Chain A
Amino acid sequence: MSIKITAGIIAAIFVLSISARLLSPYDPDAIDLDSLREPPSLKHLFGTDNKGRDIMTRVLSGGKISIGISIFAVIISLGIGLLTGLISGYFGGRTDTVLMALVDLVLAFPSLILAIGISVLLPPGIYTVVIAISAVGWASFARVIRGHVLSISRSQFIEAARAVGCGDLRILTIHLLPQCVPLALVMAGMKLGGYILTEAALGFLGLGVQPPTATWGSMISSGRAFLNSAPWMVLSPGLLIALTALCFNLLGDALKEKFDSGPGI
């Protein structure tokens, strides 16, 4: 039930943000000096910002980038995490030690600091944000997947597969991988809310996608200076971040309950 509702809200936000240019009469980046910092009205439902741009249009088109980046980052983290976790859990021994040392190394960093560090290193842009988020995110996926692989690779069906003469590659891809997918998806759902927040934080710090392109984080950051005179500049992007992250978190919780396989971290 709540899976459907939360997924529906997320889908609605995403579809609206993709079609923002069709739905709205305004261009998200068009500067209009005649309507600077107008409060919300029928003409501009969420008001306008300090350059006269329509905030609703900007919030919606920013959603496309924020949600897109988070989903992209989750897919990459999931991919790397699955691969590392499978290899580490299945082969064990020295491979496991080395890979898990790497995972511990990443997890030892405060995650936001590491993401900031990577964003400073690379030229700013969509891909940098994706790389920064997934470079931090893959480790917890790998850790959980490894644990799961460890627990199921002693099962009889794996032993049976080996007895029939399946190679390592076949066991990994056909027997172990499908067993890990539900867990990985649940985890992805739980992580997405956090990724939305990280993306927004990087945008807020000016390390995300660069202006004039609207992202939720950078809109809040530019609205900060006008907090007293034009609070609506900060209000709507923040509400959307909170709403989206909330839906992803609830979705993750609901998925976790449904599959009843709560990953530790």
Chain B
Amino acid sequence: MTTTSVPSSESWLEVAPLQARDALLGLLPESLHWIASSVLAIAVLVGAFGLMFAYLTLAERKLLGRIQNRPGPNRTGWAGLLQPFADAVKALTKEDIVPRDADKVLHALAPVSLVALSLIGLAVIPFGRHLVAIELDAAVLYFFAAGAATELSIFMAGWASRNKYSLLAAMRALAQLISYEVPLLLSVVPVVLVAGTLSTTAIVAAQGGWAAGFWPHWHVLTPWGFSAFCLFMIAALAESNRSPFDLPEAESELIAGHLTEYSGFKYALFFMAEYFGMAALSAMAVTLFLGGWQAPLGWLEVLPSYVWFAAKLLALLAGFIWIRATFPRLRIDQLTRLAWKFLVPMALLNLANAAFWSLTAGWSGPLQAVRWAVSLAAVVVPFLLLSRSLFSGLGPRVYRYAPS
């Protein structure tokens, strides 16, 4: 959705979105093109991610069901495919309850601002070779600034509800989100360091090509990149309030946390924002580590770039669901300890590792093997040492009365 001209040497599928945009813009006078182009980009993003949100909820319920050996929703429409729309109608027709003592303005503003802030990060994601809503030089910075603002919305919701559970949950959410903001950003810095740019399009372009014809130059396929990717995904899980880091809405302790006093469509907005945030962080992970829209192999480039992006994005989202289905929730002390004692040191060491990697970019031949070995050791050794020292003595719990 940038205003670059359409290259003629590419397959028609690759340029089809651009041609569709140009055809639509052609219907309007020249003076309106700048705003129409932006509105179109917003409409496409909201439409595509809105639909993805709808079907992600269904996919999540289906996958969770199958993992728990039951079918999941399969009644509404063919195999349950209309379930998201039934849910939407239900959410829209429910009563909207606002507590008498709540701060009415903030209470209504919180879900709206949360959805808006979760969505604006998507503007800088390159979804395909030519598909990026706005090309910013500091796109990575913009993305994380927008993402960090969602913390404000969650606290807004907790504060405005005037409910003890909501407030406690909001404070907990702040502690969690600020804790995990640090490893999230620290795991991104190596990518910026190695790519030498904050622009998402340039970072994706830097990951093009293949070493030895088959090994993509994706950052995740380097030792420091793999480590940073894992750290990023753990922090992203926590940032998007997903299980096993969904403490702010731990129902056994806090009813529904900051969602306690929300009902009907406002509740649905929170739900939507969670999925938008998850999708945005996954899209950022794809962009930074998984080569963005780049195909894994040269001959696979017959598929248009946006298909590759969507495939990687959906794979990451499925991973989120898989993790949710598997792990139990952490305690608040375990959560913050994991962030400050494990993720942050690992991310800092990884930064040095990436610095080494970018300094040794010129090495070749046998030196290349040395470079890989050193970088790998710089990931594995601290990981083993840190995990041994942090988690020693915690190991298998002995049950005195229950049969083992």
Specify whether A and B are partners: no
User: A residues touching B (Cβ–Cβ < 8 Å)?
Assistant: none
